Amino acid sequence: MSRDPVAFLSKEYAQLVQANLDWRIHTLNGPSEPWCHVDGKKVLMFCSNNYLGLSTHPRLRAAAVEAVQRYGAGSGSVRPIAGTMDVHVELEKRLARFKGAEASLVYQTGFAANAGLIPQLAGEGDLIVSDELNHGSIIDGVRLSKADKAVYRHADVDDLERVLNSAEAHTPAYQKILIITDGVFSMDGDVAPLDRIAKVGKDHGAMVYVDDAHGEGVLGEAGRGIVSHFHLSRNVVQVEMGTFSKAFGVVGGHVSGSRDLVNFALNKSRTWLLSGSHPPAVAAACLAAIDVLEQEPEHVRRLWENTRRFKKAMSDAGFNIGKSTTPITPIIVGESAKAKQLSDRLFELQVFALPIVFPMVAKDQARIRTIMNAAMTEDEVGFAIDAFIRAGKDLRIL
């Protein structure tokens, strides 16, 4: 009997569309700036991860151009063979100093860091304990491991301790226990209680791994991230993972910690070993971003000024913004269809902010996820506030 082996593709996509769970790809016609052009329409960007506006910062642009002229467009290989240039080495040295760590290792993406390193840190005979709302890249990294898995309730340190107490009674005894948490949770904007997690981890002899993709450039001294925010030592948070694709304004993932961690990671992570290294322009722009964070503190300051104003206005208007304490502010409306309607109305009002629906959030927690940008002026933040309130009233959300 003849059967179409790919018939399921169109069928499942049609089901996603019918349930309002499909992604509709929009095209940015130009740079990622506060006012930009999306699908040919001038709109205020309110959903970019470019927290500090560094993707168009003159120093990053100049560094990228200079690197192309000096090194060319690409590296020509993977890092362990012939793809490590001096600009890659310098970036890792500078990043380690910025993070206050012995060493750092740059991956091609943040996803590659999690997917490549987590399965190597814990395997058969070990246990990985993960927050229930951890990012998908963490989830996939955990799934790739042969270790036993356990999940604790979101940001609930008492429940984490319950899991660890149970693990200590396991027979045979686990060789290693790895606790993994996001630093800032990307859908809700809340911050992990990393200080308490680190203490519990130390008490139970567990390794602590934090994904600080949304905390870098936002939390801590000069945007150094959540480990700096809580004034924690490398003895209690052994792995700090992050990304250059958000507040740094470029692209790439990285881990920071001990020299032993980096030596282990670069020898064991297949995502690092088998992927082409960053074009030199990318590495140079990342270096320039670190310079900007260290030398221009006004970007982080403006980010928080804008954030506080927007959160207060949304809360005062009656929107449900959840429990966010960071520049990620969810506008929670419940139904997926309602979230898409709100996004469409905002786009008509010249604000670009996309809906987040199941499975990225629970089915009754659909939302518009907004992300503040330090490059926005007071007038631009006010424009967005007015648009949200008008759209909320138009759709009877308010």
pLDDT digits (tens, 9 = 90+) for 159-196: 999 999 999 999 999 999 999 999 999 999 999 999 99
pLDDT tens-digit profile of 238-267?
999 999 999 999 999 999 999 999 999 999
Q: For residue 299, what pLDDT is reported?
A: 97
Percent of the chain topping pLDDT 70: 100
Q: Which pTM does this prediction carry?
A: 0.95
| Residue 2 pLDDT exceeds 80 | no
**Angle subtended by helix axes 86-99 and 280-295, to nearest 10:** 30
Q: For residue 21, what pLDDT is reported?
A: 78
Q: Which residues of 226-242 are buried (b: 16+ CB within 10 A; e: fewer)?
A: bbbbbebebebbbbbbb
CA atoms within 13 A on the CB side of 1: 2
Distance from C-alpha of 126 to C-alpha of 139, rounded to nearest angstrom: 16
Q: Domain limits of the chain?
A: 19-48+297-394, 58-295
Burial class of residue 395, CB neighbours in 10 A (0-12, 13-18, 19+): middle
Cβ pair 214, 184 in contact under 8 A: yes
Categorize the per-residue pLDDT at 24 as very low, low, confident or very high, splitting at 50, 70 and 90. Answer: confident
pLDDT tens-digit profile of 260-284?
999 999 999 999 999 999 999 999 9
246 is catalytic: yes
Q: For residue 23, what pLDDT is reported?
A: 81
Q: Which two structure tokens, joined as six digits, stand for 37? A: 């052009």
| Residue 359 pLDDT exceeds 70 | yes
Pick the catalytic residue: 88, 99, 214, 299?
A: 214
pLDDT tens-digit profile of 211-236?
999 999 999 999 999 999 999 998 99
**Angle subtended by helix axes 58-71 and 280-295, to nearest 10:** 150
Q: Which of 294, 276, 227 is nearest to 109 (CA)?
A: 276
Categorize the per-residue pLDDT at 1 as very low, low, confident or very high, splitting at 50, 70 and 90. Answer: low
The domain over range 58-295 is classified in CATH as 3.40.640.10: yes
Categorize the per-residue pLDDT at 107 as very low, low, confident or very high, splitting at 50, 70 and 90. Answer: very high
DSSP 152: E
Pick the catalytic residue: 99, 246, 278, 311?
A: 246
Q: Which of 195, 198, 224 is nearest to 209 (CA)?
A: 198
Secondary structure element (H or E) that encloses residue 127, with its range = strand 127-131
Categorize the per-residue pLDDT at 358 as very low, low, confident or very high, splitting at 50, 70 and 90. Answer: confident
Categorize the per-residue pLDDT at 67 as very low, low, confident or very high, splitting at 50, 70 and 90. Answer: very high
186 is catalytic: yes
Cβ pair 329, 370 in contact under 8 A: yes
Q: What is the dihedral of CA 245, 247, 250, 253, to 10 degrees?
A: -40
Cβ pair 256, 220 in contact under 8 A: no
User: Could you tell me the end-to-end alpha-carbon distance of the chain, in angstroms, rounded to an integer?
Assistant: 56
Cβ pair 350, 333 in contact under 8 A: no
Secondary structure element (H or E) that encloses residue 243, with its range = strand 239-243
Cβ pair 103, 94 in contact under 8 A: no
Instruction: Determine the distance from the C-alpha atom of residue 165 to the mean position of all C-alpha atoms in its chain, rounded to a whole number.
Output: 30
Percent of the chain topping pLDDT 90: 93
176 is catalytic: no
Pick the catalytic residue: 55, 104, 137, 186?
A: 186
Q: What is the mean pLDDT of the chain?
A: 96
DSSP 356: E
Mean predicted confidence (pLDDT) in 11-25: 87
Categorize the per-residue pLDDT at 339 as very low, low, confident or very high, splitting at 50, 70 and 90. Answer: very high
Q: Which CATH superfamily is domain 19-48+297-394 in?
A: Aspartate Aminotransferase, domain 1 (3.90.1150.10)
Q: Which of 166, 189, 192 is nearest to 177 (CA)?
A: 166
Q: Which two structure tokens, joined as six digits, stand for 143? A: 């799934």
Q: For residue 354, what pLDDT is reported?
A: 94
Burial class of residue 150, CB neighbours in 10 A (0-12, 13-18, 19+): middle
Alpha-carbon dihedral sign for residues 338, 341, 346, 352? positive
Residues forming a β-bridge with 149: 128
